[in-house]
């Protein structure tokens, strides 16, 4: 028969749940001032006791098995802890485990680490800084779970590891999330804080630093809050490069705490939902050389604008929330950076003080023994007589104590000296150390009593560590003024169109269907068609004027029209200055090909169209071409072709544009095409049309500049014959 007892729910929680809660907080999820949780400490201490600071690596399974003597939570949990601290996993800025084999990657959700029987480990070089003087009573030791061995409650770590390597944990009712900082910066900051408690942290500790690199969007106010309170957040971005040749984006560093699979899943979802139309394919090309996510782009897509869109819509940009919660004396505290470093300095000071006191005690014990030996020196023969006349071995010590008035430990020390060493020379040599020991003890006692001397020792250690293990920052700082804001724009529908431009500056955008159904083009009286172009509604239009300026506009910003209307007046739509006239219109989706500018002085400038490409959505560019000589003609050519130029004295030159040297500067004066004499100038330039001349080879040249040939009779226009 079951029996039920009534008791308040508060009592049930207090008796049953509170012990579990405290265990999770104190002994599992929250790190202490040395920067480690108990699971980390048990694993690393086991490796230290196994002699893995030097020598060859051992199988991970061996370490896991040995660690179970301290950690009873199972081999899987122990191995996962090892994986996170390994060099191969790349979670930590300064890994403590030198690993060989597949340990997965912190940037991959699906890459599984190999079983412990396949991988090998040892302690990394920096791990030696965790155990400095650990055997000199610098920290407390406690029994393990079955009281068969001892383990340290903390490591006497010689640098502020609590801020150098990241720490995350979820306890009951609280959590911790400590970001990592650059080791050299942390050491320098600690040194300056010891010298000046009011030191400005930002002078030496610029911002968090992560093993996965990326970019940190620098927000001074947000970082100040984190530094002061230990709470707050900042944003991290991926790093990328644009492969112009293959028209694709390559992402090679991602924010900490994101995975490449998570990023890919989000991009795929956006493509499926129709919110991301610019990407044709994405591939995970991560290999032995590092992480790489490749995004193939559609033709005409602006890579910079797409990345701004991806930053806003995917985990390629995310926030890192800080919660600097750590245990001090088994009590959770949320502290700012300054407070954490001050607590670490106090902890490290106590470690050095305890280690020094341990040395003092050892030296005092040695000094005590040597002083007993000095008393024996007064009458060595008497000491030998006492030892010789003592009948039982156990009485040797007491008899020496009586004969020389020395303590038991001193008597036992003398009794253990070999017979061959019971001579004056040996005893004198041994007792000479007494003076040195007394001076060393006095110096150590002075060190214990003077915190400034201990601080000097800490500073020296920190400077050595920074020099030995310091690395350049991995996470770049991105300042707000360097960020191009993402502007939500509705994607215009893309379809083929024809463009018509008149000499007076009227512009028409007509679809092929409308053009087939239309009659003649309506023009203003005295106006004529100047250019006919083919393109699409997403084409970018460049309008060059006679004032060395170019105006840029999307074709989608013009309304579709018909041949029966005049069209839109470009000078008014683009805001031309009084008297400014349109000389050339170019419609492009990709910035390929060249612009040719022919000048009256006989020169031609060949400028890549890419020189007019801008990452920002700029409507106007000044200094579009040279103003040093009057412009005779401007042309856009996608590929090299033949051009015909003529001088005012009637000479003609036919040449290939490949002879023109490309100039990336838009305002270049160009290279000479015509050799001009006297007052002659270049008056005509146009692409050569087949059949213009009966014998074009008579005007064609292989080198420029050239004087050219006069027009032959057979090539003169009919009306001039």
**Gap between the Cα atoms of 617 and 485, Å rounded:** 11
Cis peptide before 104 (omega within 30 of 0): no
DSSP state of 86: B
Strand-strand pairing, 651-656 and 620-622: unpaired
Closest CA relative to residue 358, chosen from 139, 41, 158, 45: 139
* Host H or E run for residue 543: strand 540-545
With tokens 């390929």, the residue in question is 592
By the 8 A CB rule, do 93 and 7 touch?
no
111-146 b/e with 16+ CB inside 10 Å = b? bebeebeebbbbbbebbebbbbbbebbbbeeeeeee
By the 8 A CB rule, do 193 and 338 touch?
yes
Go through the chain and tell me how many residues it has.
721
Backbone torsions φ then ψ of 239, nearest 5 degrees: -110, 145
By the 8 A CB rule, do 39 and 24 touch?
no
By the 8 A CB rule, do 545 and 614 touch?
no
Which one from 118, 145, 479, 495 is the annotated catalytic residue? 118
**Gap between the Cα atoms of 133 and 53, Å rounded:** 14
Distance from first CA to last CA of the chain, Å, rounded? 131
Cα-Cα-Cα-Cα dihedral sign, residues 64, 66, 70, 72: positive
DSSP state of 144: -
**Gap between the Cα atoms of 474 and 185, Å rounded:** 12
Strand-strand pairing, 167-170 and 175-178: antiparallel
**Gap between the Cα atoms of 585 and 527, Å rounded:** 17
DSSP state of 16: I
DSSP state of 599: E
Residue 71: strand pairing partners: none
344-375 b/e with 16+ CB inside 10 Å = b? bbebbbebbbbbbbbbbeebeeebebbebbbb
Residue 469 known to be catalytic: no
By the 8 A CB rule, do 324 and 231 touch?
yes
Q: CA neighbours within 13 Å on the CB side: how many for 467?
A: 6
**Gap between the Cα atoms of 713 and 710, Å rounded:** 9
Neighbour-count burial of 50, counting CB atoms closer than 10 A to its CB (0-12 exposed, 13-18 middle, 19+ buried) = middle
**Gap between the Cα atoms of 642 and 694, Å rounded:** 16
**Gap between the Cα atoms of 58 and 76, Å rounded:** 18
Collapse the DSSP code of 385 into the 3-class scheme (helix H, G, I; strand E, B; otherwise coil) and give the result: helix
Instruction: Return the beta strands (E) in 67-183 as ranges.
Output: 97-100, 120-123, 141-143, 150-152, 167-170, 175-178
By the 8 A CB rule, do 122 and 425 touch?
no
Question: What is the per-residue DSSP string for 24-58?
Answer: HIIIIIS-BTTS--HHHHHHHHHHHHTTTTSS--E
Q: Quote the distance between the C-alpha of residue 337 and its chain's center.
A: 21
Order the strands of the 58-59 sheet from edge to edge.
58-59, 120-123, 97-100
Residue 141: strand pairing partners: 152
By the 8 A CB rule, do 545 and 576 touch?
yes
Show which residues are catalytic.
118
């Amino acid at each position: 028969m079951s029996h039920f007892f009534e008791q308040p729910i508060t009592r049930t929680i207090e008796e049953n749940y509170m012990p579990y809660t405290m265990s999770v907080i104190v002994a599992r999820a929250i790190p202490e001032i040395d920067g480690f949780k108990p699971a980390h400490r048990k694993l690393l201490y086991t490796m230290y006791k196994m002699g893995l600071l030097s020598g060859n690596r051992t199988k991970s399974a061996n370490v896991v098995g040995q660690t179970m003597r301290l950690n009873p939570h199972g081999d899987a949990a122990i191995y996962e802890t090892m994986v996170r601290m390994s060099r191969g996993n790349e979670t930590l800025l300064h890994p403590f485990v030198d690993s060989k084999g597949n340990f997965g990657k912190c940037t991959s959700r699906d890459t599984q680490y190999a079983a412990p029987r396949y991988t090998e480990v040892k302690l990394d070089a920096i791990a030696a800084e965790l155990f400095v003087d650990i055997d000199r009573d610098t920290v407390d030791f406690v029994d393990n779970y079955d009281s068969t061995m001892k383990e340290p409650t903390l490591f006497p770590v010689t640098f502020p590891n609590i801020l150098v390597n990241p720490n995350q944990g979820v306890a009951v009712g609280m959590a911790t999330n400590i970001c990592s900082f650059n080791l050299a910066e942390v050491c320098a900051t600690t040194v300056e804080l010891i010298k000046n408690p009011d030191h400005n942290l930002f002078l030496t500790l610029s911002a968090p630093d992560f093993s996965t690199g990326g970019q940190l969007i620098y927000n001074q106010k947000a970082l100040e809050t984190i530094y002061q309170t230990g709470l707050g957040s900042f944003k991290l971005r991926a790093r990328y490069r644009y492969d112009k040749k293959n028209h694709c984006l390559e992402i090679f560093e991602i924010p900490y705490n994101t995975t490449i699979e998570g990023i890919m899943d989000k991009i795929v979802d956006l493509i499926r939902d129709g919110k991301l139309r610019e990407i044709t394919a994405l591939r995970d090309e991560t290999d032995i050389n590092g992480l790489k996510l490749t995004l193939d782009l559609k033709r005409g897509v602006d890579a910079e604008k797409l990345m701004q869109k991806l930053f806003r819509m995917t985990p390629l940009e995310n926030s890192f929330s800080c919660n600097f919660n750590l245990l001090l004396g088994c009590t959770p505290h949320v502290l700012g950076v300054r407070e954490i470093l001050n607590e670490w300095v106090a902890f490290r000071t106590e470690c050095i003080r305890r280690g020094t006191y341990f040395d003092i005690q050892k030296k005092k014990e040695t000094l005590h023994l040597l002083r007993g030996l000095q008393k024996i020196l007064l009458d060595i023969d008497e000491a030998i007589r006492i030892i010789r006349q003592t009948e039982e071995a156990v009485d040797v010590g007491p008899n020496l104590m009586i004969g020389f008035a020395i303590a038991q430990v001193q008597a036992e020390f003398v009794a253990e000296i070999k017979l061959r060493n019971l001579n004056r020379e040996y005893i004198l040599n041994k007792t000479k150390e007494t003076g040195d020991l007394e001076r060393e003890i006095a110096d150590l006692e002075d060190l214990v009593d003077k915190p400034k001397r201990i601080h000097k020792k800490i500073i020296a250690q920190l400077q050595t560590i920074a020099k030995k293990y310091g690395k350049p920052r991995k996470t770049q700082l991105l300042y707000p003024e360097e960020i191009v804001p993402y502007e939500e724009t509705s994607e215009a529908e893309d379809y083929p169109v024809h463009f018509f431009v008149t000499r007076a500056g009227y512009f028409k955008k007509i679809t092929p269907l409308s053009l087939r159904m239309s009659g003649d083009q309506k023009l203003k009286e005295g106006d004529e068609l100047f250019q006919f172009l083919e393109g699409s509604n997403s084409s970018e239009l460049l309008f060059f004027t006679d004032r060395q300026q170019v105006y840029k506009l999307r074709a989608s910003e013009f309304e579709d029209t018909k041949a029966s209307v005049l069209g839109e007046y470009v000078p008014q739509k683009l805001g031309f200055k009084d008297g400014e006239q349109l000389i050339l219109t170019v419609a492009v989706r990709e910035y390929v090909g060249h612009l040719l500018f022919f000048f009256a002085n006989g020169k031609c400038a060949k400028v890549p169209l890419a020189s007019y490409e801008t990452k920002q959505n700029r409507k106007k560019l000044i200094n579009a071409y040279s103003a040093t000589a009057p412009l005779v003609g401007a042309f856009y050519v996608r590929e090299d072709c033949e051009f015909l130029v003529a001088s005012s004295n009637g000479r003609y030159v036919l040449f290939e544009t490949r002879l023109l040297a490309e100039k990336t500067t838009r305002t270049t004066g160009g290279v000479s095409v015509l050799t001009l004499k006297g007052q002659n100038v270049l008056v005509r330039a146009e692409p050569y049309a087949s059949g213009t001349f009966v014998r074009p080879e008579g005007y064609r040249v292989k080198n420029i500049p050239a004087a050219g040939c006069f027009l032959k009779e057979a090539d003169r226009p009919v009306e001039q014959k």
